Chains A and B, each alone.
Chain A
Amino acid sequence: MKVILLGFGIIGKGVINVIRKKKEYLKNKYGMDLKVVAICDRSGAAIDENGLDLELALRVKEETGKISKYPEKGTSLPIVEVIKSIEADALIEATPTNIESGEPAKTYIIEGFKSGKHVITANKGPLALYFNELLSYAKKYDRIFRYEASVGGAMPIINLAKETLAGNEITEIKGILNGTTNYILTKMEREKLDFDTVLKEAQELGIAETNPHQDISGLDTAAKIVILANSIMNMEVTIRGVNIEGITKITPEALSMANKGGYTIKLIGEVGENKLEVGPKLIPLDDPLNVKGSLNVAMLNTDLAKEVIVVGRGAGDVETSSAILSDIINIYLKSKKMG
């Protein structure tokens, strides 16, 4: 199986590392010979139709910051041209998220389908804004579209709902879908510190981003809730339809108040009948949704299996790449059946 990787940042490098680590495993378990035929970043691309040397690619990126410096096979060809001209079975789209426009990832995904490739993305932006449009391209070109890594990192939720829980009607999903806010609230609660202090510390530790707006405002959770609503519950909603409240107003006193009543406060994303919202909620201290640190958790309410709860690591390069790898394997197995 040949893949093209778009984006060579934290997630992209994680994907390459996981592919390297699992190469033998994939061959032995699935008979899959996985080759990365192109890696693209802002500088251009490295292309080798026989498969790139992944260790070399990582070293070039590490040393020069530019994949286009890959010896002999480096090029400044724009990403769209790589997608159109290079033959591959699937496109792994791991470029930075833009929650306002969904671009340029949206264009890359569409070009991928148009050029006959299956697409895997970890990118919330285009999914939260243009889910149905992207799905219609996948259908039109008869390609597989997978996006497990876009919600909850390593926590399996989309494929769990669509495949393992097949036959169940899912009536409600709620949970903590952002590790940064969970880390901040957990720390504020345990150490009675105010929001700004904990945020600063989280930024110093690299848990929160330099610009943490998307996390703390609830926007990141909202994007994920929209993806779940559209992909699992067959809704047709966009991020503009989500009622959003972040965690910036939460105080340590409020957390103590909640504790006194047997609760904690968590930033919860919820989708259900007539409900599409993100906001801080009181969660009973002994509730399974009360997970600590930067963990993610989701509860799916279903008609047959009733409540199903998954907990997992919502971020991290290797963790997110594990979700991408599961999508690669799934596409490989399905496309083998498709012939």
Chain B
Amino acid sequence: MIILDLELKDAPGELIKALTPISKMGINIHSVIHLREKKVDGRIPVRLVVDGLEDKTLNEMIDELEKLDVIITKVNNSIRKRDIDLVVIGHVVDTDIRDTIDRLNKYGLVIDLDLSMPDPFKESSARMKIIVDSEKLNDLYNELDKLSKEKNLLFIKSF
């Protein structure tokens, strides 16, 4: 048995999108559990239990899912990807928000961005969700520190 922890948008069709490639590869799915109580920021953790697979087939399956932007957070409880939520305070737009995102995308993937600018001359706030490979987490944190110093931005992270 292999346990896959996915993170899906809470929207119609998202589960089918994740299950289709698995079923096309002829892999037997034992159970699908929605962990609705753990929903954070519009995303729902879903646990899939599939038949035991050889490493090669498992990796192929993961590749197929990731091509479809399905986020696989854990395989058999070993953490593959983490999602980091951030609130950013400062002159988020004026300090070149595109550059900020590009630099974070070198280590992870910014998948959500929400911006609040109460006054064009005052500091703004933004909310971001970043998906990052667990082995690149420290690199991402280092980049956040650099950006914070260079652009005088405060990044408030989730644990």
Q: Do A and B bind each other?
A: yes
Instruction: Point out residues on A near B: beta carbons under 8 Å.
Output: 174, 245, 249-251, 253-254, 256-258, 260-263, 265, 279-284
Instruction: Point out residues on B near A: beta carbons under 8 Å.
Output: 39-41, 85-87, 89-90, 114, 116, 118, 123-127, 129, 154, 156-159
Compute how far the CA of A332 lies from the CA of B89 in the bound complex, rounded to whole angstroms. Answer: 51
Residues of B within 8 A of A283 (CB): 158-159
User: In the complex the two chains form, is B40's CB within 8 Å of A282's CB?
Assistant: no
User: In the complex the two chains form, is A251's CB within 8 Å of B159's CB?
Assistant: no
Contact A249-B157, Cβ < 8 Å, known A256-B116, A261-B40: no
User: In the complex the two chains form, is A260's CB within 8 Å of B125's CB?
Assistant: no
Closest chain B residue to A254 by CB distance?
B125
Known: A261-B40, A263-B85, A265-B87. 7 other contacts (CB 8 A): A250-B156, A253-B124, A254-B89, A261-B87, A262-B39, A265-B156, A282-B159
User: In the complex the two chains form, is B89's CB within 8 Å of A249's CB?
Assistant: yes
User: In the complex the two chains form, is A260's CB within 8 Å of B127's CB?
Assistant: yes
How far apart are B132's CB and chain A's nearest CB, in angstroms? 15
How far apart are A265's CB and chain B's nearest CB, in angstroms? 6
Selected from B85, B118, B157, the residue in CB contact (under 8 A) with A253 is B118
Contact A251-B89, Cβ < 8 Å, known A257-B116, A257-B127: yes
How far apart are A283's CB and chain B's nearest CB, in angstroms? 8
Residues of B within 8 A of A258 (CB): 87, 127, 156
User: In the complex the two chains form, is B156's CB within 8 Å of A281's CB?
Assistant: yes
How far apart are A262's CB and chain B's nearest CB, in angstroms? 5
Residues of A within 8 A of B87 (CB): 254, 257-258, 261, 263, 265, 282
Residues of A within 8 A of B123 (CB): 249, 251
User: In the complex the two chains form, is A282's CB within 8 Å of B118's CB?
Assistant: no
Contact A245-B154, Cβ < 8 Å, known A257-B126, A258-B87, A260-B114: yes
Residues of B within 8 A of A251 (CB): 89, 123, 125
Compute how far the CA of A258 lies from the CA of B85 in the bound complex, rounded to whole angstroms. Answer: 9
Residues of A within 8 A of B89 (CB): 249-251, 254
Residues of A within 8 A of B118 (CB): 253
User: In the complex the two chains form, is B126's CB within 8 Å of A262's CB?
Assistant: no
User: In the complex the two chains form, is A249's CB within 8 Å of B154's CB?
Assistant: yes
Residues of B within 8 A of A174 (CB): 159
Compute how far the CA of A279 lies from the CA of B89 in the bound complex, rounded to whole angstroms. Answer: 13
Name B's interface SS: strand
Compute how far the CA of A266 lies from the CA of B41 in the bound complex, rounded to whole angstroms. Answer: 18
Residues of B within 8 A of A253 (CB): 116, 118, 124-125
Name A's interface SS: mixed
The 5 A-B pairs with the shortest beta carbon distances in the complex, nearest first, are A282-B158, A254-B125, A261-B41, A257-B127, A253-B125
Closest chain B residue to A289 by CB distance?
B159
Interface centre among B87, B90, B118, B127 (most CB of A within 10 A): B87
Closest chain B residue to A258 by CB distance?
B87
User: In the complex the two chains form, is B85's CB within 8 Å of A261's CB?
Assistant: yes
Residues of B within 8 A of A284 (CB): 40, 158
Residues of A within 8 A of B154 (CB): 245, 249, 280
How far apart are A191's CB and chain B's nearest CB, in angstroms? 16
8 residue pairs A–B, Cβ–Cβ below 8 Å: A253-B125, A258-B87, A262-B40, A265-B156, A281-B157, A281-B158, A282-B157, A283-B158
Interface centre among B90, B123, B127 (most CB of A within 10 A): B127
Closest chain B residue to A285 by CB distance?
B40
Residues of A within 8 A of B126 (CB): 257
Compute how far the CA of A14 lies from the CA of B39 in the bound complex, rounded to whole angstroms. Answer: 46
Residues of B within 8 A of A281 (CB): 156-159
User: In the complex the two chains form, is A254's CB within 8 Å of B156's CB?
Assistant: yes
Residues of B within 8 A of A250 (CB): 89, 156
Residues of B within 8 A of A256 (CB): 116, 125
Compute how far the CA of A253 lies from the CA of B127 in the bound complex, rounded to whole angstroms. Answer: 11
Residues of A within 8 A of B41 (CB): 261-262
How far apart are A299's CB and chain B's nearest CB, in angstroms? 10
User: In the complex the two chains form, is A261's CB within 8 Å of B127's CB?
Assistant: yes
Compute how far the CA of A258 lies from the CA of B88 in the bound complex, rounded to whole angstroms. Answer: 10
Residues of B within 8 A of A280 (CB): 154, 156
How far apart are A88's CB and chain B's nearest CB, in angstroms? 46
Compute how far the CA of A63 lies from the CA of B154 in the bound complex, rounded to whole angstroms. Answer: 49
